[in-house]
Structure formats: structure tokens, C-alpha cells
Structure 1
């Protein structure tokens, strides 16, 4: 099964519509300190196996990283452990900065 993708514009729409979902940032601490999407839940990629129990299995989870590669790997891992309703932010926080919120710095 493949992971669904969400564009930055679709994510913004979800936020504006107050959709009930978890926004999961899987980047490293220093990346999150530099730039983040408001309302995110942060679990670094390498900590996911230890902390996946923090994630609800009853609502959609939108994962993001810098460009979308690490978050896709985490989404596939979570899918293999039984999570469904997973979405990968296409283009990551970089796309968010460029397409939705220019106040979020790019790097």
C-alpha cells in the first residue's frame, strides 16, 4: 500500500477547516528550532520506534521533514507497524515555506 501525499496548500486548507489530525515533524531538534509549522508534534525520526505509542491511531497523521524523504520513510515504518490514515507532506517544510507561509525560514 502506498502513503498518500498532501500538498502544502491542502495542509493549509485542513488547518483552516480545523480538521482533526496530528502534524508530525520528524526532523532533528536543531531543524525544528530553526523552522517549524505551527501546531506540530515533534518526534525525531530516530526516536519513532521508541515513541510511536505517543501517536493516536484514531486520527489522520500528516508527517513532514525538510523535503519529504525522511517523513516518507517514517510513514512507511508506521504503516508497517499498523498505523493507517497516514499522509506525507509533499516537499516538506521547504514547500510550506515557499508556497504557504514565507515567514517560515528556508534552509
Structure 2
């Protein structure tokens, strides 16, 4: 997913004629980090940075942005975990199943200890 976002960021940034270093400065990140993001070499992005990029480049349609409940950090984390687990499942179903089982069992342990 971040690879696709990174490619979109590079495409829109270059279409607007903004250099990598200049854009990194505007976002408050290093040029190396931005380059890694654009090339899909990073696995994480802070929500605040994603919001800055959205403000600058409008990489997501407004309907998607409006549907995000940024006031609910648990919901955001669950959506992120969902996308990570789905990607892992596509790459290695056994690892994804192991992680999901561990979370399910952990939740069961907490519920029985209440």
C-alpha cells in the first residue's frame, strides 16, 4: 500500500514541478526519508505527515479523507493492522494466521481474567 502511495506522491510532486529536496523541506522530513517513501522502501508513515502530503498534493479523493475518523486512534490503528495482516496473509498465510491466533488468544485471556 505504501509503495502505491509513494509512487502517487512522486508522480504528483513532479507534475507540480516540485523538487524532492524542496518538498521534503516543506514537509519537515529529510530528502532521504521522502525518497524512501516514494520508492516504497519504508513501511510506516506518520498520520500527521500523510495529512501534510494530502494538503500539498491531494493524493486521496475527498470521499476517502472524509470517511476517516481521525478522532478515533483505535479505529485508525485497527485499519492499519487490517491492511498489514492482509498483505502478510497474501505473502505468508501461516505467519498471518499465527499472529491473528495470538491476538485472539490474548484477548480471550484478558476477558477470562476480568
TM-score range, shorter chain: under 0.3
Structure with higher RCO (Cα < 8 A, 6+ apart) = 1
TM-score, normalised with respect to structure 1: 0.26
Higher-helix-fraction structure: 2
Higher-strand-fraction structure: 1
Task: Please identify the structure whose Cα radius of gyration is greater.
Answer: 2
TM-score, normalised with respect to structure 2: 0.25
